[in-house]
Structure 1
Amino acid sequence: MPADASATARAEPPAPLPNRVARLLGVRIPIVQAPMTFIAGATLAAAVSNAGALGIIETTSPQGRADLKRVRDLTDRPVGANVALAMRKDPSVIDLLVEAGVSTVLTSAGDPTVLTGRLHDAGLTVFHVVGSLRNALKAADAGVDGLVVEGVEGGGFKSARAASTLVLLPLVASRVSLPIISAGGICDGPSMAAAIVLGAEGVQMGTRMLASRESPLHDNVKNAVVGADETGTVMISVPGLPTMRVLRTPAAERVLATGRPEVGLDGIPALYFDGDLTASLANTGQVAGRIERVEPVADIVHETWTGCRQILAAAGARANGW
């Protein structure tokens, strides 16, 4: 793909939207960038949206909330936002989203009944992030438009009792009729195709996007992700810290060895933006073990979507021959 792939993607004529997820999000390609705190800002989200997928702005940090406005200088494509309900229950956030021209909201980390009705009243589409069948059923009862079903192999905050995407996704798909975006373990065409076969109509990528050229992370962190193998992440669950999947760094190893929060989350800015891998814990998914290089977002989106369709077509041809 040429170096100006983002410009090429912007110039492409609109194509028929392939499924319910794409239609709800208003995008050509049913791929969503994960709402990573401090990372999911205007530059990354605009690159994803300009590539034909859906960029997401996180609203947990002050910078993220400021980027809701700044992103409009970088793209005229649909852009979504995340609301972590445990941190932002105040309905005033809805005014901020509407003013920014956001059309899709991913809610997470809380009870979807808190804001779903008010988000709908404001004309917003709501996908809720779930990590269990119980929470998926609860979100469906709350009236959300769709689900982001996240397996335990994904990076960031997790339940210590969560299931993998291979188990959780088909289970939820068999019990809930809502359109599903699969998250956790997705980084390319084969993994997206697998999610589609298991019942999803779109995918969310976090670790793959944080290791992109447009990601604001320091190169030390990106290179650590690229250098990780399939055992390169660990689940941390110790008093004083939320349970989360992080990159297997010396800092993470010390926390595991002592069972104590040897480093805190207040060091995340130094980790992310100064490249100090000892400052905190780097939220990263197991799929880091399959990421081989830092690439432009437009290439990641194009190759994932094209590869997914090619793999599904080839699988269909093989099945027809059985």
Structure 2
Amino acid sequence: MKGNRLCAMLGIDRPIIQAPMGWIARSQLASAVSNAGGLGIIETSSGELDAIRGEIAKMRQLTDKPFGVNVAQAFVRDPDIVKFIIGEGVRFVTTSAGDPNRFCGELKAAGLTVFHVVPNLAGALKALEAGVDGLVVEGGEGGGFKNGRDVSSFVLLPLVRSITDKPIVAAGGMLCGRTMAAAFALGADAIQLGTRMVSAEESPVHANWKNAIVAARETDTVFLNRHGRGPALRALRTEKTTRLELEPGGNIMAEFGHALDLYFGGDMEASIALSGQVAGRIDSVRPVKAILDEIMAEYAEVVAGLPR
């Protein structure tokens, strides 16, 4: 996109970034996003660093476009993770689920561009003090692991924009050209897609999960573990997650012990299917390129039609 500073910073054509979802955000999906002009991100939250090394190697075979890696600090405790990423020649990193000071200095000293994921104003201020190059500002309507005191994108984006002029990626509630236009009006430079990418044709998850997203209404997510041990999270409503919503248990992370049975086996009750509220707006499984093409076309149409 001409004139978009984040596109210029990252060397991409479209200001659209794919969320770094554990086990999902690997070369099959991430390369499709990069090849379509956005920025694919490889996850590390699965903790499977040997597999991740292979996925990065596959990315270089599948695309010659830029891509990045996420470090989810709460889930990746390998002290050599930064050396690993630098050694793989990665140029863009998002850090999340932890202190932005932990890795920012070392990554930037090696010449990498670093964004940190923040759920509130305090987190944004801390990340800026750590010296990050930009922020992924994550509203509570998004899927996945959240802050228990969630704030919607419509409130959080302009609040964070009011205290910094650094690039912002809007996450949570982002889906289409209309939400991109709204995010830009609220202060963002790009959008991040999570649930839309889980349901994309190139997503490696089982069809049962994709079909559940397509069938979901806007009210068919639950916000779990708001006051429990470990992170809060937003997920699709199933029998399991409805039970957990009404009867919170101990450590919510224990529910991911059989995650792969859900992710790739299709057993929707085996674990927790993370999803944002935008599931209620997704009505089909589409190829990544078609999704990004439609976003850009609708964005142009929406912006052109706005009253002056």
Residue type of the alignment partner of 1:268: A
- What does residue 215 of structure 1 align with? 203
Alignment partner of 1:172 is 2:189: no
Is 1:146 aligned to 2:137, yes or no?
Answer: no
Task: Structure 1 unaligned segments of length 5 or more: list them.
Answer: 1-15
AA of the residue aligned to 1:254: R
Q: 2:239 aligns with which of 235, 250, 253?
A: 250
Among 224, 238, 245, the residue aligned to 2:212: 224
Of 253, 278, 284, which aligns to 1:287? 278
Task: Give the conservation status (yes or no) of the 8 Å contact 1:128–1:147.
Answer: yes
Q: Which letter maps to 1:24?
A: M
Q: Following the alignment from structure 2 to structure 1, what is the Cα–Cα distance between the partners of residues 75 and 220?
A: 30
Which residue in the other structure is 1:50 paired with? 35
Q: Does structure 2 retain, via aligned residues, the 8 Å contact 1:185–1:285? A: yes
Does structure 1 conserve the Cα–Cα contact (< 8 Å) formed by 2:148 and 2:231?
Answer: no
Query: Retained in 1: the 8 A contact 2:157–2:187?
Result: yes
Post-superposition CA distance 1:271-290 (Å, at most 9, x none): 01000001011110000000
**SS of residue matched to 2:59:** helix
1:133 corresponds to which of 96, 112, 121: 121
**Identity, % of aligned pairs?**
49
CA-to-aligned-CA distance 1:221-256 (integer Å, 9 cap, x gap): 000001000101010116455310000011111112
* Counterpart selection for 1:122 from 110, 132, 156: 110
Following superposition, the deviation at residue 89 of structure 1 comes to 5.5
CA displacement at 1:101 relative to structure 2? 2.9
Q: Equivalents in 2 of 1:132, 1:60: separation in Å?
A: 21
Q: Distance in 2 between matches of 1:102 and 1:287?
A: 30
Contact 2:86 2:107 in 1 (8 A): no
Structure 2 residue 91 is matched with structure 1 residue 110 = no
**Aligned equivalent of 1:39:** 24
Q: Return the letter of the residue paired with 1:25.
A: L
Aligned-pair CA distance for 1:302: 1.3
Q: Which among 151, 156, 160 is matched to residue 144 of structure 2?
A: 156
Q: TM-score, normalised by structure 1?
A: 0.90
Superposed CA offset, 1:68-104 (max 9, x none): 2221111111010000122335552233223333211
SS of the aligned residue for 2:135 comes to: strand
Summarize the Cα distance change of 1:120–1:271 in structure 2 as closer, same or farther, 3 Å threshold: same
Cα deviation, residue 22, structure 1: 1.0
Aligned counterparts, 1:286-305, within 5 A? 286-305=277-296
Question: Tell me, which stretches of 5 or more residues in structure 2 are unaligned?
Answer: none
SS of equivalent residue, structure 1 residue 141: helix
Question: Equivalent residue of 1:235, what SS?
Answer: strand
Aligned to 1:312: 303
Q: How far apart, in 1, do the equivalents of 2:2 and 2:71 lie? A: 26
Q: Residue 17 of structure 1: CA displacement?
A: 4.5
